Amino acid sequence: MHFLDPVSPAILSKVMKPARYTGYEWNSVVKDLKPAMVNFVLAMPDVYEVGMSNLGLKILYQILNQRADTFAERTYAPWVDLEAEMRNAGIRLYTLETKRPVAECDIIGFSLQYELSYSNVLNMLDLAGIPLLAAEREATQPLVACGGPCAFNAEPMTDFVDFFILGEAEEVISEVAAAIADWKLSGKLNGKAGILRQLAELQGVYVPGFYEAEYDAAGRWAGICTDIPEAKQTISKRVIPDLDQVMFATKPIVPFIEIVHDRIMLELFRGCTRGCRFCQAGVLYRPVRERNIETLLGYVQALIDNTGYNEISLVSLSSADYSCLSPLINRLTTRFKPQGVSVSLPSLRIDSFSIDLANQVQQVRKSGLTFAPEAGTQRLRDVINKGVTEADLIEAVSAAFRAGWSTIKLYFMIGLPTETDEDIAGIAALAQQVADLYKQIKGRRGAKVTVSVSSFVPKPHTAFQWFGQNSVEEIERKQRLLRSLIKDRSLSLSWHDARTSFLEGVFSRGDRRLGKVLLRAWQNGVKFDGWSDHFRYNIWMDAFAAENVDPAAYASRNRDIDEALPWEHLSSGVDKSFLVREWQAAQQGAFTPDCRHKECGACGVCRNLDVKVVDWGQA
């Protein structure tokens, strides 16, 4: 079957990387769309190479297309060059599979990975010819859904989205598809409200249009209320108790062009209970649930057969924590190395065990290792519950240098709670120590140490959700201070634009009133905010001013512990009391151990959602 490209050869030969837009990839699915079928478009508000690398979307694509009553297609944000051509020629956003206009599908589901992609959601809806405001869309137009980590503070996007899915979607996505199929069969009984009421009953589904937001006299968020019986007061995330029992992306689409993660993505487990207090993923994906090693080996065989990739990347929040990692790597290398398949570990723990592993998988090329001490002093690492010491780092780096590595990347954050200039100086000192270590061990210079510094953005559902983010000026001052302290030629320093982190901070802890700011900023031309070349800070600030919304009130203000927060009706399963305890422990620099190895820290998720830690090393 050949589907006519809506975009002409003249346009495609003008734009960068035209194969982003033409489809036909191996393992992509084309179905004959019958009227009763649900046409589900899976979307990522980012370019093809990023969207195609998202594991969640790969899994959902496979689950949805497995269903006889559903046909899932894909669409991604066209890069600005193609967008201009499409707008010029009046071409609407289309799917990669059948090149049909997205506006003709039943539902479009966006994966929200970070706040700076929100403007792209609006832009894609507009490019599709779909009204932006949920209230203006009719039953004949697609439903718009969002999932991914940002759904856990849905409020800034509620004007535009019909429903959100919280948590792991392997099961609920099927329930959603089945409900829409029935609704279509019934002739869309009771219109859009009819289907949304049904969806609102599903655990993990939030239909914001069924709720009113309330604010107190001071104009602060006071909560939501509803008189729709199906709409729950608290919406709890979905969680898969046994990951071995759900479908994995064993038949992922193999792109023609190189994407960000152009290899087999093997997810060993979900969750991380190390308990870094800044980390949102560590809360959202609790508890830790591992896949069985036999399950994983079966997946790898299927993935190699189905894709032809010869590289496996172990992707989990902290892959080195997998309880059976050594046997897994041994078995992977003995079984698949003869077939020319290599294994890589993207995230490393700071200990020499990890170096042994890295050595095992990277036997020839020493391409560089990344460590994340996160903070420059022990005091501050204790505040954030990063359970590593300087001695751990020194030991790990020494092991790496001795094993032949010379390029080390160190990740830090600035703007953390309780941070002082001493902590900033600590970053420079630690980096210098690493560079000096190389000389001590090797007897010569030649280490390359990259210090990468991001600005801390407090995230909802974390112990730091009450903390007032450092202002743009304060972050820039700290960046300059750090710059002045780093002198050695073997050290290089990079940091993030403080202004993008500020905007991210506003939206990550924002509420419903940000919808109109987003709409205005988009109307005035913002898009691809996460791409520094395209970030337009002034347009954003003008939009805040025009809508009379103070961004600092969301980002910079310290919030009270007993203040209502705009994401408290969306539950990760973790108790607020646990976050409060962790916030207090942070002030004292008190350590909270990892619950998978030590005792339960009583975060509440296991009890609240009736799940258990799955750790095969303990079994």
Partner 1 sequence: MAKLRLKITKGNEIRYVSHLDFAGTIERVVRRAGLPAAYSEGFNPHLKMAFASALAVGVTSEAEYLDLELTAAPDVAGIEARLKAQLPAGIELKAARYVHTPSPALMAVVNLATYDIMVPLMPAATLAAAMTSLSSFNSEVEILYIKESPKGRREIDITEFLAGPVTASLAADNQSLTVRLAIRITPSGSVKPAEVLAVLTGRYGLPADGGNALIHRTGLFVWDGRGQRSPLEL
* Residues at the contact surface with ligand SF4, assessed by CB under 6 A: 273, 286-287, 595, 600-606, 613
In the complex, minimum distance from the CB of residue 326 to ligand SF4, in angstroms, rounded to a whole number: 24
End-to-end, the C-alpha distance of the chain in Å comes to 50
Residues in the chain: 619
In degrees, rounded to 5, the angle at the alpha carbon of residue 563 between the alpha carbons of residues 287 and 574 is 10
CB 243, min distance to ligand SF4, A: 15
Pick the closer one to ligand SF4 by CB: 74 or 274: 274
Integer CA distances (angstroms), 13 to 6, 16, 81, 86, 513, in order: 14, 8, 11, 14, 42
3-state secondary structure of 370: strand
The residue sitting closest to ligand SF4, measured at its beta carbon, is: 595
Residues 289-328 that bind partner 1 (CB under 8 A): 304-310
Contact flag: residue 591 with partner 1 (CB under 8 A):
no
Residue 304 Cβ vs partner 1, minimum distance, rounded to whole Å: 8
Q: For residue 188, give the DSSP letter.
A: S
- Among residues 100 and 274, whose Cβ is nearest to ligand SF4? 274
- Segment lying near partner 1 (by CB under 8 A), choices 339-347, 417-425, 524-532, 535-543: 339-347
Binding partner of residue 308 among ligand SF4, partner 1, none, CB under 5 to 8 Å per kind?
A: partner 1
Would you give the binding string for partner 1 spanning residues 256-295, x where CB under 8 A is met?
xxx-------------------------------------
Q: Are 207 and 162 in contact (CB under 8 A)?
A: yes
The C-alpha atoms of residue 117 and residue 120 are separated, in whole angstroms, by 5
Non-local CB neighbours of 363 within 8 Å, separated by 6+ positions: none
Which residue blocks in 403-489 are alpha helix, DSSP H? 421-442, 472-485
Residue 344 tokens read as 């890589």
552 part of the interface to partner 1, by CB under 8 A: no
Considering only residues 6, 22, 226, 468, which one is a binding residue for partner 1 as defined by CB under 8 A?
Answer: 22
407 token code pair? 């390029």
The nearest distance, CB 575 to ligand SF4, in angstroms, is: 9
606 touches which of ligand SF4, partner 1, none (CB within 5 to 8 A by kind)? Answer: ligand SF4
9 sits near partner 1 (criterion: CB under 8 A)? yes
Residue 309 φ/ψ region, left for φ over 0, alpha for ψ in the -120 to 50 degree band, beta for the rest: beta
| H/E run at residue 147 | strand 143-147
Q: Which stretch binds partner 1 (CB under 8 A): 272-280, 336-344, 418-426, 549-557?
A: 336-344
The footprint of partner 1 on residues 218-257 (CB under 8 A) is: 254, 256-257
Q: Assess contact for 574 and 461: CB atoms under 8 A.
A: yes
Neighbours of 496 (CB within 10 A): 18
Query: Count of alpha carbons within 13 Å of 538, Cβ hemisphere only?
Result: 0
Cβ at position 208, least distance to partner 1 in Å:
40
Question: Closest distance between partner 1 and the C-beta of residue 406, in Å?
Answer: 16
User: Is the separation of the CB atoms in 574 and 595 below 8 Å?
Assistant: no
Which range of residues in 13-21, 69-77, 141-149, 516-524 is near partner 1 by CB under 8 A? 13-21
Which residues lie closer than 8 Å to 619 by C-beta, 6 or more apart? Answer: none
Q: CB under 8 A: which stretch of 15-23, 192-200, 293-301, 444-452 binds partner 1? A: 15-23
CB of 81 to partner 1, least distance (A): 14
Q: Quickly list H helices, 67-189.
A: 80-89, 118-128, 172-185
Name which position in 187, 217, 334, 364 contacts partner 1 (CB under 8 A): 364
Write down the least CB distance from residue 287 to ligand SF4, Å: 4
Shortest distance in whole angstroms from residue 14 CB to partner 1: 8
Phi/psi of residue 295, nearest 5 degrees: -60, -45
The binding site for partner 1 (CB under 8 A) comprises 2, 8-10, 12-13, 18-19, 21-26, 254, 256-258, 304-310, 339-340, 342, 364-365
